[in-house]
Structure 1
Amino acid sequence: MKNWFVALGGVLGYFALIFLYTLGAYLLVRSPPWFRYLFGFSSLSIFFGLLARTFHWASVAHIVLAESILIGGGTLFSLFWAFFSKKRPDPGGGAQRSPEERPGKSDSPATFLPAEGGDEEADLPVSRVREEIGTLLDAGLSVLVYGPTGSGKTSGVLMECLRERQAGDAERSILLISCSDGMEDYDLLNRPVPASPQEKARTLRAMAREHPDVRIGSLSRLFGDWDRAEGPLRSAFRRAAGGERLTIVFDELNRSSVSALNLILKVMDPVLGHYELFDFTTGERLSCPLDRLVFCATCNMGEGYGQTRELDWSLLDRFPGVVFMDYDARLEKQMLMDLGVPPDLAGRMVHVALALREAHRTGNLAAPLSTRHLKNWGRLVADGADPENIAPCLWVNRLVSHDRLGFPDKDQVHGIREVLGRTFRGGRKS
């Protein structure tokens, strides 16, 4: 019986060892360097211990003792190195050095700057998103535009395309619905709003005339302090049912609640050649022909957007056109020039944004420089601010990682300063 328990323990221990080793290998990718060294050292120690036991180079007791000493010593050394490497002072004795004097990392954002002497305009990537969206809208199709945050999906491209088509089709109106995490399905239909004292008094007087046998206090408790206002989606269907033609734009669609997304999914599903909306707050059903409504939406997709929801495949299927929009460098340069930034300086600022975005894509920065912050930067530069000196208080700390105490990553900050120094003081030539 004892041998059976020993065999069972050996089998369970073997599978437990495989599980722990697989888990360690999975976590190895996300681990700091000291943990990787410790993992490799421990694995080699166990491997050589198995070889020693297989070929009878030493007894089990000696092998276990040697491995315990090696793994324990390796663990203590790794912890010591990981702890004191954070306490190690800068090579310059802690003195703050300029970006030119400080050696940059090989993967710093500055390595992604375009080659000097290139043509500013020719270096900028060409975006055909506006043409793609325009083609879909001209065909009367619903469009979903997704891309990185602050790239101008809604205000800069989609709404402009809709306004251009609205100029040739004055009968079609545009209704923008801003979605948020707290927006529920009833907010789109009949959202609750606080009742004003005047409105509540008027309603109570009317109810008292209709029900003279009921006390006014009972009517007040029955009425409550809330009223309902017509939601934007119900308003759009009511107007479309009355003959208007509308384009409904859901801004940040996947920030809506699950109930709101389910309601949008239902109204975008045609029923016998009509769009149909059932208002469960009133029991009313509204419908309109398909040509009177066009649905458009913008959203952010990816694991980096924590407050968003993954769009269901059935909801994505309701959009015939799904367009990815990256940052439009040429549009950004024109935007800066419209603010009053000289063309040469606007091109340099856009190249800084491109370099930092590439650094973000390769994992060297925590966030990209968005079109929104580039525009704010351009406003101050147009007013006479120095682009290199004003950037740190505007957007530098937005792009870098922070430790558990909230301190910004020094290497990333210095990498950004290196990009700024090379661009505005190193003399990029147009």
Structure 2
Amino acid sequence: MKKYSHKIVLGVVFLALLSCGKGNGNNFNQLDYNLSFEFSLVIPDHPLSTNMLQAKIVDGKELLFWGDVKRFDRILVYNMEDQKWEDPIQFELEGPNGIGKLNGFYVKDQDSIFTVDSFRWNIHLMDSGKKVATYSVRSGLDPLEIITPFTTENPISGVAEHNVVYFGFPELSPFEQDYYTKGRTGALINLKNGQIKTGGGYPAQYHGHQWPGVNTISDRQTVIKNHVAHSFSLSDTVFLYDPEYRLKKKILFNSSKKRTTQNFDGQSKEELSGEKAYFEMLSKGFYSSLISDEKRGVLYRTISYSDQDPSSFSNYFDYKLTAKRDLIIYDLDKDKLLGEIAFKPGELDEIPMMFVGEKGLYLSKKRTDREEVEFYLLSW
């Protein structure tokens, strides 16, 4: 793993640089929408951003569980009903009940919390601060099937039947041609017997090629209606798997902003992960998030892109300032692409924090005049 860590860092830098084309010829429904203010909060001793948010009803009240990406040893808990902070869920990092590091979490209930330590390849089942079980995500797997849980996004997608589901990147060099042909991107742990099964390999369009930006950093996965939905950053298709990782359905879940990304076959490692790659990804658009609304049977997918001519910019730093992020909505119950939303500049964060609660999808906007973040509820 250490052998490839600098490539992963390059991918993370690429994602951090983004502040989130011509269309593909289809007619897309541009949805009217409304953002209604719901609540604001000040986060104690914490940066105003996180990729680890989960809302859940506990004892009749809706709680927002907020992963601490500064300390990596606790989950902050915000009471959305009373609009106040509850006591955090605190973990030990080392020792018999140590979690190593909090790279992600999933709250099944308050007595069953899954935590992830990506670079030790462990997922722990915790009863509050006490360790119930540890699952090694490398145990019993062929090297080609090992997946390192995602490091900069919450890698646990949820629970499907008796399986906890996670996603990440193959334990292979991303500069090898077999990376996209043989690599796996999703996995599940059977909670009854502890066995691990991997799946969610790259779409056929990826196979046999090299792609810019080590784009696995933007792959996403979520659980909805006991199925696993997986999004790949360059593919217009979202793949729906059953709880045993058998492919059940392919969903055309595309955007009018997506153009064809050119492969980087025959190009150097420096070009694959350098400015040229970043220009290619952003100028053609790439899918960057996948979020499920179980209650409404809806999937949300975001696309990050720039509609400016990249040849007009001498460096990527200036070009990425033109980045935009739109939201695409698919109704699984109706099996229908509902449309997409282009948010107005400045009304949300450039890369908003997002989570689904009882009322629907929430998106963030940081205040510039004080250390506070506001959350708005989306309707369309």
TM beyond 0.5: no
Larger radius of gyration: 1
Normalising to structure 1: TM-score of the pair?
A: 0.23
Q: Which has the higher contact order (CA 8 A, sep 6+)?
A: 1
- Judging by fraction of residues, say which structure has more strand: 2
- Judging by fraction of residues, say which structure has more helix: 1
